[in-house]
Structure 1
């Protein structure tokens, strides 16, 4: 019998300072939201993270993958477009793919997270890819997303 999957890793499960520091390195602010309060700028609704301008809003029950995903939406945008963002930042499929790729890469910068855990959480949450899993997409089908990021100086060549 398979062991039950661990619960989705949430912001309350990691050091908030680590997440805030990671976002700060990309010119973003992580704004904690009190438990039970509405999350400003949340596209999908609570407990999903929200974005307004250069701020990512998240509660303790916000999944880490959601906080990273919304932050990466802002990171992939040119700085002049970030200021105008409110709730929805995606302009194209290419930006969405780049966002998904970058959130996996950045997970390695968060102690206690890492890409393997993040990809498992993305699958458990319901992200879908034509190869059947986030890992398969990332390892076998995401060359275009990686190249998009490289061309914009967001990943090393």
Structure 2
């Protein structure tokens, strides 16, 4: 499992800033505000993603992607639970995989392996199988909202 302490947090912070989000790193001994799954999983309140050094990178990206895919007006009042629909959940999963490529030392391959290790479940049995063979609706959802290039599997921004 790749943790926040294992990567360049400034690269993650810049990635989130590109989507008008903030990353707040919490001291190791403090609770993580807005964590839906409990510590050490990332939390969110408004446009801020909270994490500690022991927070898995996939968790930070997943919560950030929830904020990225939701309408701006909802983002301001979100606290802890960002899920609005299965479509948004799937879009968040898809986008976190794509955005992992923007982080040095992370990449989609590592992120998908960590998602499987954490326990994400997909119909086809693995994150990779879902991403490559069963995520067309999530991809189209992101493309329609201009969050993903219509011709590649790359994020816009």
User: Could you say which TM-score interval applies, normalised by the shorter chain?
Assistant: over 0.9
Q: Distance in 2 between matches of 1:145 and 1:47?
A: 27
**Alignment map for 1:1-157 (pairs within 5 Å):** 8-157=1-150
SS in structure 2 of the partner of residue 42 of structure 1: coil
TM-score by length of 1: 0.95
Q: Distance in 1 between matches of 2:63 and 2:29?
A: 20
Q: Distance in 2 between matches of 1:33 and 1:15?
A: 16
- Superposition misfits of 4+ residues, deviation over 3 angstroms: none
Structure 1 unaligned segments of length 5 or more: list them: 1-7
SS in structure 1 of the partner of residue 49 of structure 2: strand
Structure 2 unaligned segments of length 5 or more: list them: 151-157
Aligned length: 150
SS in structure 2 of the partner of residue 57 of structure 1: strand
